């Protein structure tokens, strides 16, 4: 016999078509209301309909006996045991790796002090050749050219 609940469970406010996060299945679409003793929103994921484990139902699964939850929400004890196992041991999700752009933002600013000789090479030599001569990337050369106000047209006029 299921024991008396420790708290009162109320059907949450819901909207058909809304997307909510089920603590067992992830994001689901609300498609209706169950007809169990405690009416509860039903969610659809991959065309499979199940109660949405969130709010009061998630609390009940954690706090109450599987028999009590099964009887009140109209599901099997096995289903409640599966929900409880999932809530107690959520899947480990590795955080996404930061993008290259995000990693670049965290780098310290370039503190290279350009010499007049290096600036002369940058002004008079094609980008790839200047990068090889100075041991830096072509992007660094391009950035320095912008700072110096030197464009490709200046190199072509000199050639």
Q: Which of 42, 44, 45, 36 is nearest to 70 (CA)?
A: 36
pLDDT tens, position by position, 23-39? 998 899 999 999 988 89
What SS3 state is found at 48? Answer: strand
pLDDT tens digits for range 116-135: 999 988 888 888 888 888 88
Half-sphere exposure of 125 (CA within 13 A, CB side): 17
What pLDDT is recorded for position 105? 56
Task: With CA atoms as reference, report the closest residue to 68 among 9, 136, 25, 122.
Answer: 9
Residue 134 token pair: 């100075």
Residues written for the chain: 159
Q: Is the predicted pLDDT of residue 113 greater than 70, yes or no?
A: yes
Contact (CB, 8 A) for 63 and 84: no
Q: Can you give the pTM of this predicted structure?
A: 0.54
Identify which of 21, 27, 59, 55 has the alpha carbon closest to the alpha carbon of residue 40. Answer: 55
Report the C-alpha gap between 147 and 26 in whole angstroms. Answer: 50
The residue ranges of every structural domain in the chain are 19-88, 112-158
Q: Is 127 helix (H, G, I), strand (E, B) or coil?
A: helix
């Amino acid at each position: 016999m299921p024991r008396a609940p420790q708290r009162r469970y109320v059907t949450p406010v819901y909207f058909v078509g809304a997307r909510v996060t089920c603590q067992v299945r992830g994001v689901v679409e609300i498609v209706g209301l169950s007809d169990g003793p405690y009416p509860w929103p039903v969610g659809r994921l991959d065309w499979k309909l199940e109660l949405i484990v969130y709010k009061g139902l998630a609390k009940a699964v954690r706090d109450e006996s599987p028999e009590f939850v099964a009887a009140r929400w109209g599901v099997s004890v096995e289903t409640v045991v599966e929900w409880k196992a999932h809530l107690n041991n959520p899947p480990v999700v590795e955080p996404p790796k930061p993008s290259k752009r995000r990693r670049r933002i965290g780098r310290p600013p370039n503190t290279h002090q350009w010499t007049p000789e290096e600036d002369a090479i940058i002004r008079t030599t094609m980008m790839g050749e200047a990068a090889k001569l100075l041991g830096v990337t072509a992007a660094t050369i391009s950035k320095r050219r912008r700072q110096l106000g030197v464009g490709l047209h200046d190199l072509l006029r000199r050639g």
